[in-house]
Amino acid sequence: MTDSLAPRRFALAILDHILNRHQTLDGAVDQALKTWPMIGLDRSFARVIATKTLRNLGFIDHVLADFLTQGVPDKCRYADLVLRGGLAQILFMDVPDHAAVDSSVRLIAGAKHRADRGMKPVVNAVLRRAVRERDSLLAQLDANPSLALPRWLADRWRKAYGAETLSDMARVIIADRRWI
């Protein structure tokens, strides 16, 4: 019997190596392969989850900040990764909503640390809300494309080029991402 969550675990391992251990994408994939050997379509699916999450991290973090006023506790790094990967699947991939929510809830329920497991109701609620509000969230992104950028980069570009040019540059980045 195969582990249906394995590709998603692999994607989270890649994200962990990049976001928490500051490795490159290729280095993160190599490290993740040591724990989660993946081949074929599973490996491709995992890499798409990871790259869609990274490419849209600015907006994903904006949504999390809006939905969770106190944010994800620092001790819940795995829950943070699960939420980010789940939001990427819901907002930017053609993954069925129920599959994105269910797999994320199952991943967090099986987390190593008790604090992460305690985030199960939060993960469920946040992802279900994202499903319900997907159209308005994406409309918000279309109306303010600079939300797609990491805050530090948007601030830097706004200061250097002005708000209008920042918006134009972000709009190009968003349009480019829809093809990837």
Q: Summarize pLDDT for 103-128 with one digit per residue, the tens.
A: 999 999 999 999 999 999 999 999 99
Q: Kindly state whether residues 61 and 111 are assigned to the same domain.
A: yes
- Six-digit token string for 73: 């506790």
Q: Kindly state whether residues 30 and 103 are assigned to the same domain.
A: yes
For residue 128, being part of any structural domain is answered with yes
Q: Kindly state whether residues 20 and 98 are assigned to the same domain.
A: yes
Cα–Cα distances in angstroms (integers) from residue 37 to residues 34, 58, 86, 155, in the given order: 6, 29, 21, 39
Q: Kindly state whether residues 100 and 27 are assigned to the same domain.
A: yes
On the question of pLDDT at 100 being above 90, the answer is: yes
Q: Kindly state whether residues 32 and 111 are assigned to the same domain.
A: yes
Q: Summarize pLDDT for 55-83 with one digit per residue, the tens.
A: 899 999 999 999 998 989 999 999 999 99
Q: Kindly state whether residues 129 and 157 are assigned to the same domain.
A: no
Q: What is the mean pLDDT of residues 80-99?
A: 96
Q: What is the CATH number of the domain that holds 106?
A: 1.10.940.10
Look up the domain containing 149 and give its range: 144-179
Q: Kindly state whether residues 26 and 46 are assigned to the same domain.
A: yes
Mention every residue, 6+ apart, whose C-beta is less than 8 A from residue 174.
141, 142, 145, 148
Q: Summarize pLDDT for 125-166 with one digit per residue, the tens.
A: 999 999 999 999 999 998 888 898 888 889 999 999 999 999
Residue 152 is predicted with a pLDDT of: 87
How far is it, in rounded angstroms, from Cα 38 to Cα 137? 33
Write down how long the chain is: 180
Domain total of the chain:
2
Question: Helix/strand/coil (H, E, C) string of 54-107?
Answer: HHCHHHHHHHHHHHCCCCCCCCCHHHHHHHHHHHHHHHHCCCCHHHHHHHHHHH
For residue 11, what pLDDT band results from cuts at 50, 70 and 90? very high
Q: Kindly state whether residues 161 and 75 are assigned to the same domain.
A: no
Residue 177 is predicted with a pLDDT of: 52
